[in-house]
Each structure stands twice: as C-alpha cells, then as structure tokens.
Amino acid sequence: MLQDIEPYLACPHCARPLTLDGRTLRCPGGHSHDLAKQGYVSLLAGDAHTGTGDTADMVAARDDFLAAGHYRPIADALAAAAVEAVAEAEASDGGDGPGGLVADLGAGTGHYLAHVLDALPGRPGAALDISKYALRRAARAHPRIGAVVCDAWRPLPLLDASAGLVLNVFAPRNGPEIRRVLRPGGTLLLVSPTSRHLRELVDALGLLSVDEEKQRRIDEKLGPYLTPAGRREVEFTMRLSAEDVRTVVGMGPSAWHTDPARLAERLAALPDPVAVTASVTVAAYRR
C-alpha cells in the first residue's frame, strides 16, 4: 500500500519529501497529489505526457499471459537474484545491508515486483510506471506495493539513496536516476531479452526482433553509473496456444506495429500449440 512507501517518495516538482495526509500526499513546498480511487497516485510533472504508456488492451493481455505462468521461470530467477543480492549486501556490510525500498522501474502490472516481495519478507515495494492502466492492477498485486505514475526518463519521484534494490524488467533504463535512488551497495537487477527470445514467432509473425548486441549496449549505457555484478541467462521452451500467441504479441512492443488482419492470417498458419523459446538475461549492477 502507499503507506508502506511514503517515507521514500519525493515531490516531482521540488524533490522534497512527501507526507501522506488522508488520501493526499503533500510536501513542505505546498504541492499536493491526490490518490486515485484505484489505489495509485500520479507523481508526474505537470508537462508530462502519458501517450507512451501501455494501453488498457496491452495491460490486459500482459496480465492474462503472466497469470497463466508462461514466464514463471523468469520471475523465479529474478526473485532468486534479489535474495542473493540482499544477502551479499548484508554480508559485506556486517549485517547492515542497504535495506530500504524495492523499486520496480517500468513495473507494469506489478507481477515481478510481487514475486520479489514474496521472497523478501517485510520489504516495501514501489511500482513505478507511466501507464495508469497497469498501475490499477499493480496497486492490488501485493499488500506491500505502492503504485506511482511517473516517467522513467525524468527525475524519479524517490528520495536520494532510498532504494536498496531496483528492478527493471523489459523496461526503459535511466542510468543516472537509478544510481541516484540506489543506496551505496544497492543493486539494480535488469531483465532483458536475448536475440533468441520468441524467435519462432519473430519471423513467422513479423514481430520486432532483438539486436544481438543489446546486452553490450546496455552495459555501455549503464557503465558510467553502475558496476556489473554478474549475470545469468534463463532460457526455456513454452507451449503456446493460438490465443496465448495472440496475447504475447498484444502485450509487448510489437502490439504498436502489427496489423491485426495480417496477424490473424499468419497465426492461422502456425501449429496449435506451438513451441516457443523464452530467453532472457538477468543481470546485476551495483552502486
């Protein structure tokens, strides 16, 4: 709930701490932000635009696909990496690890954040996303999640050094801001697709492909701000029905670039079910 993350929130206008007063967040500078009835709060700057956020249809597709468990090995690997990162931080600091918030940048429906919070009892979690449709679901995904509308490319509405752990799953990455909100010794856990991800569908359906140099480019962009601290690849085969395939297309970036009529025609040519590769890298970066 929002009460759990209140101590870590910063005003998007003046960066001062926010305090929850009933159903309104207020800062010493006089700015106020009301909670939506769906449980999230918008901490967008006044001139921000939400047009790049996931639509209601995309969010519904993602919720259906993730709830079916198709990406469960990814969620399990992320949770294991989170437990490992916290244990290493506590060991290196003599039992006083970085603690603090678990912030999920580009959290979507909160699915992965909820999985990580289950593995880290007592930690509060902030679901940060620009899509209010996604955050309506994230606000209900776990009792320790607070959902906040914000723009990943702008200053995040979090106080300096407020997060012990930042998650980033198939989402935009703002290196300077991630470093700012991470506590010393804190970790960014980043999940990104490899060039083999959904490869059986890319050519068959004309989907967007993943550059083989993607991980190198991520490392280069984060290099000035964070230090690589290990990575693991997670690869497995899913057996997807035609409806599952339609859902996985509809929940990702290809949803913006796919013609529905052509997709339906190509889907009809696929076997049902179809074997599809899921392939991601779970990489850790430390401040």
Residue 178 has pLDDT above 90, yes or no: yes
Average pLDDT value over all residues in the chain = 90
Give residue-wise pLDDT tens across range 82-120. Answer: 999 999 888 876 555 557 899 999 999 999 999 999 999
The rounded distance, in Å, linking the Cα atoms of 192 and 168 is 8
Q: How confident is the model at residue 270 (pLDDT cuts 50, 70, 90)?
A: confident
Tokens of 54: 């996931």
Q: How confident is the model at residue 137 (pLDDT cuts 50, 70, 90)?
A: very high
Rounded to the nearest angstrom, the gap between the alpha carbon of residue 30 and the centroid of all alpha carbons in its chain is 30
The rounded distance, in Å, linking the Cα atoms of 105 and 191 is 11
Q: Which domain holds residue 267?
A: 2-286
pLDDT at res. 263? 77
Strands 24-26 and 32-34: antiparallel
CATH code assigned at 171: 3.40.50.150
pLDDT at res. 257? 61
Q: How many CB atoms lie within 10 A of CB 131?
A: 22
- Residue whose tokens read 């079916």: 68
The rounded distance, in Å, linking the Cα atoms of 170 and 173 is 9
Give the mean pLDDT of 146-172.
95
Residue 191 has pLDDT above 80, yes or no: yes
Q: How confident is the model at residue 231 (pLDDT cuts 50, 70, 90)?
A: very high
pTM of the model: 0.92
pLDDT at res. 151? 93
Helices (H), strands (E): how many in the chain? 10, 11
Q: How many CB atoms lie within 10 A of CB 8?
A: 21
Nearest to 195 by CA among 182, 207, 183: 207
Residue 262 has pLDDT above 90, yes or no: no
Give residue-wise pLDDT tens across range 18-74. Answer: 999 989 999 999 999 999 999 999 999 866 665 567 889 889 999 999 999 999 999
The conformation of residue 110, written as its DSSP 8-state character, comes to: S
First and final C-alpha spacing in the chain? 27
- What is the count of structural domains for the chain? 1
- Helix (H) or strand (E) run with residue 4 in it: helix 2-5
Residue 158 has pLDDT above 60, yes or no: yes
The rounded distance, in Å, linking the Cα atoms of 73 and 66 is 11
Helix axes 111-119, 56-67, angle to 10 degrees: 40
- Lowest-confidence pick of 39-43, 206-210, 231-235: 206-210
Give the mean pLDDT of 205-227.
86
